[in-house]
Amino acid sequence: MPASAKSVPPEKTTSPPAAAPAAPGAGLSAVQRALRKLGLVRDIDFALYLPMRYEDETRIVRLADTRDGDMAQVEGVVTECEVVFRPRRQLIATIDDGSDTCQLRFFNFYPSQQKQLAVGARVRVRGEMRGGFVGRQMMHPTVKAAGTALPQALTPVYSTIAGLPQPVLRREVRSGLARAVLDETIPVQIGWRGAWDLRSSLTFLHYPTPDVAMATLEDHSHPAWQRIKAEELLAQQLSQLQARLERAAQRAPMLPSSAEPQASSLHAQLLAVLPFGLTGAQQRVGEEITRDLGREIPMHRLLQGDVGSGKTVVAALAAARCIDAGFQCALMAPTEILAAQHFGKLVGWLDPLLAERGLRVAWLTGSQKKKERDAMSAAVESGEAALVIGTHAVISEKVRFKNLALAIIDEQHRFGVAQRLALRGKAVGHLEPHLLMMSATPIPRTLAMSYYADLDVSTLDELPPGRTPIVTKLVADHRREEVIDRIQAQIAQGRQVYWVCPLIEESEAVDLRNATETRDELADALGAAVNVGLLHSRMPTAEKQAVMAAFTANEIQVLVSTTVIEVGVDVPNASLMVIEHAERFGLSQLHQLRGRVGRGAAASACVLLYAPGDSGRVGEAARARLKAMAETSDGFEIARRDLEIRGPGEFLGARQSGAPLLRFADLSTDTMLLDWARELAPLMLDKHPDLAQRHIDRWLGTKAEYLKA
């Protein structure tokens, strides 16, 4: 154990054990409830709750040696103290340490602070040093009585919430760290080669010695940080590999590809009626899925592909394999518009072929009339509905499948873990359904190796022929009239246009008003001959469908919309996309929106209208997003940059609801540690399964269960 880690042993404490088990909310103090909000329940949770920064209270400096902007701790005698009312009520005190004087200023203060700063008292104060016309100043410094022993370690500062002040949180973390069982779970003979074990690493990172280079704590490069990140990555890899092995022990219906004579199979007939040939990538991915469906181990495959790469066709062919084998398939999409797009395509392709077999495609959404939904549910339960398409309604308790064998989830990152579990639970008997998840947000390699290690990943990396390249232009919003001229030119050529309004999370009403005002402004500018439509999330479903049908039929030339058209909408005649306040959108969302054009033979463009802020510039992250959009249309490059800008937590979105995101490791810089964890995980599960389980439990607790979804 490194000597420096021993220098500050955790203090014993008489505080009550905040981590004691209790029924949710029952008999908990306000502090315990606040701790639970931070996820601090078990002793190990406290031990792993590492500081976000540190304060150096280990030394006292002379006022004369400080500079403007320094965080300094000084000791001196109070020479003046008074409450003044200019320009507002405030407490002003002056201290003298023999080398210089410093004014202390408090706008919020208590009588006890005023008493603590009585003239003649010797105090120790810490704060940011500022210069000014009155000399040196500190605003709201911390104040303690002088003469107490200086701490031997840096003071940790933890992320906290209202009702949980730093002193209380520090006390509880120190107590939890002292109680936590931190014995080694990584086998010495196959494990970590560094000098730092878990206890010494955690003790040091909570209470670093003042001689440590602060930069190594801030950038997580210190050997103690390396050990913590390695343990975290190992826990993640172990849990995902364990989930994969447990899934391999389950059984799913075997769906052989030769269930019927090849020429008369639904799969072959579907291929024959498609108005286009498959790309090489579609054929390759189709073969990967066919092999999975033919095995009794449940498929757990992520189908990723850029916008327009043809994922729906691959899903339809997989559904045909399933139906050929005599089973049912369910396809679930996050929105009714996207579900309706799938329904329209698949009904056109499959319904005539299914009708010959006495089967049909069913449609299930939350907005259906009860009579229609009951009829659809009955068709699902009887098996007449061989393919079921819908939204969350597909997983409602009232929907019972006769023999579900394949579940397809589109835009899977928009669904939570519980929803995917519910869909898996629709299978009959002890069999699991095969699971195919689709995403138009390509997953960067390091992310796939980490968060998707429990999945097989298929990639459509080839666009179908006929997709026209999209030109992307950045345009400041003061050039709005030029954009409207461009719209008029497109309409004159018989083309159509999308105009997307930004989403303002605070208020749907504001969103609706903005979209409505924009529609009215465009209608005035473009004249009565141009039909400008409006689409937003608060419309009744039937009205949304009517608007989309009118746009598809070119009865509406300009469609003003909120982001409900982000995915799935396919109108080949639309050749121009205008995204207003593009700086407010995420990068993958901008890329998804851009993919709504360029679906036909006409040259297409995407205009990103942005509003510079008060400084005349957009923020740094927004500028990076807009720059990426202008420079590339490659979805995989977009995804890589999106990961750089947002980090994995935000990038993954709802896909990992409840599942463990990395708190300490950084996939962009810790690839060597990730490789180490990936290599060690199968060895541990094979040779040391008990240690592996303890390691997972320590780091993930119950969250590991979510990886099985």
Nearest to 638 by CA among 650, 648, 627: 627
Residue 425: inside a domain, yes or no? yes
Q: Which residues pair with 144 in a beta bridge?
A: 124
Query: In the predicted model, is pLDDT for residue 663 greater than 70?
Result: yes
Which residues constitute the domain of residue 378?
262-460
Give CA separation, 163 vs 34, 38, 554, in Å: 7, 12, 58
Residue 180: inside a domain, yes or no? no
Residue 542: inside a domain, yes or no? yes
Q: What's the pLDDT at 100?
A: 94
Residue 276: inside a domain, yes or no? yes
Give CA separation, 598 vs 29, 466, 546, in Å: 59, 9, 23
Q: What's the pLDDT at 42?
A: 93
- In a 13 Å sphere around the CA of 484, the CA atoms on its Cβ side amount to 16
Radius of gyration of the chain (CA): 31
Query: In the predicted model, is pLDDT for residue 602 greater than 70?
Result: yes
Please state the rounded mean pLDDT for residues 467-472: 80
Please state the rounded mean pLDDT for residues 493-500: 92
Are 72 and 129 in the same domain? Answer: yes
Single-letter code of the amino acid located at 163: G
| Domain end call among 595, 613, 632 | 632
Nearest to 423 by CA among 336, 331, 312, 296: 331
For 212-241, the pLDDT digits (tens) are: 999 999 999 999 999 999 999 999 899 888
Q: Residue 114: which CATH number?
A: 2.40.50.140
Residue 156: inside a domain, yes or no? no
Q: What's the pLDDT at 10?
A: 41
Are 426 and 478 in the same domain? Answer: no
Mean pLDDT of the residues in the chain:
83
Residue 511: inside a domain, yes or no? yes
Measured distance CA(580)–CA(587) in Å, rounded: 14
| Domain end call among 460, 486, 519 | 460
Q: Residue 599: which CATH number?
A: 3.40.50.300
Measured distance CA(335)–CA(208) in Å, rounded: 50
13, 46 contact by CB (below 8 A): no
Structure token pair of residue 130: 């500022």
Please state the rounded mean pLDDT for residues 428-432: 77
Q: What's the pLDDT at 569?
A: 63
Are 276 and 416 in the same domain? Answer: yes
User: pLDDT grade, residue 535 (50/70/90)?
Assistant: confident
Are 395 and 448 in the same domain? Answer: yes
3-state helix, strand, coil in the chain (%, to 5): 45, 15, 40
Please state the rounded mean pLDDT for residues 314-329: 92
Measured distance CA(499)–CA(581) in Å, rounded: 11
Query: In the predicted model, is pLDDT for residue 519 greater than 50?
Result: yes
Are 329 and 441 in the same domain? Answer: yes
Please state the rounded mean pLDDT for residues 601-621: 75
User: pLDDT grade, residue 7 (50/70/90)?
Assistant: very low
301, 439 contact by CB (below 8 A): no
Are 558 and 432 in the same domain? Answer: no
Per-range mean pLDDT, top range of 4-18, 169-183, 516-530:
169-183
**H or E element in which residue 139 lies:** strand 137-139
For 440-469, the pLDDT digits (tens) are: 777 776 676 666 666 788 888 887 776 677
Are 384 and 486 in the same domain? Answer: no
Please state the rounded mean pLDDT for residues 334-349: 74
Are 428 and 476 in the same domain? Answer: no
Are 395 and 489 in the same domain? Answer: no
Q: What's the pLDDT at 259?
A: 46
Q: What's the pLDDT at 508?
A: 53
Are 300 and 427 in the same domain? Answer: yes
Q: What's the pLDDT at 227?
A: 95
Higher local confidence (pLDDT), 504 or 575: 575
Query: In the predicted model, is pLDDT for residue 19 greater than 50?
Result: no
Please state the rounded mean pLDDT for residues 252-279: 81
pTM of this structure: 0.69
| Domain end call among 460, 480, 498 | 460
Going by their DSSP bridges, the two strands 604-610 and 574-579 should be labelled as: parallel
Measured distance CA(64)–CA(240) in Å, rounded: 57
Structure token pair of residue 94: 């002056």
Count of beta carbons in the 10 Å neighbourhood of residue 188? 8
What is the separation of C-alpha 427 from the centre of its chain, rounded to a whole number of angstroms? 29
Query: In the predicted model, is pLDDT for residue 660 greater than 70?
Result: no
Per the structure, the count of domains in the chain is: 3
Are 520 and 425 in the same domain? Answer: no
Structure token pair of residue 426: 């629709």
Count of beta carbons in the 10 Å neighbourhood of residue 433? 27
Q: What's the pLDDT at 20?
A: 45
What is the separation of C-alpha 354 from the centre of its chain, rounded to a whole number of angstroms? 39
Q: What's the pLDDT at 24?
A: 52
**H or E element in which residue 245 lies:** helix 223-248
Nearest to 526 by CA among 475, 555, 491, 560: 491
For 81-95, the pLDDT digits (tens) are: 999 987 889 999 999
Residue 106: inside a domain, yes or no? yes
Are 443 and 568 in the same domain? Answer: no
Higher local confidence (pLDDT), 277 or 343: 277
User: pLDDT grade, residue 79 (50/70/90)?
Assistant: very high
What is the separation of C-alpha 51 from the centre of its chain, rounded to a whole number of angstroms? 23
Measured distance CA(349)–CA(617) in Å, rounded: 49
Query: In the predicted model, is pLDDT for residue 546 greater than 50?
Result: yes
Structure token pair of residue 677: 């964890």
Residue 178: inside a domain, yes or no? no
DSSP string, 536-591: -TTS-HHHHHHHHHHHHTTS-SEEEE-GGGSSS---TTEEEEEETTGGGS-HHHHH
Q: What's the pLDDT at 332?
A: 84
Query: In the predicted model, is pLDDT for residue 648 greater than 90?
Result: no
Give CA separation, 279 vs 185, 265, 275, 456, 460, in Å: 48, 21, 13, 21, 9
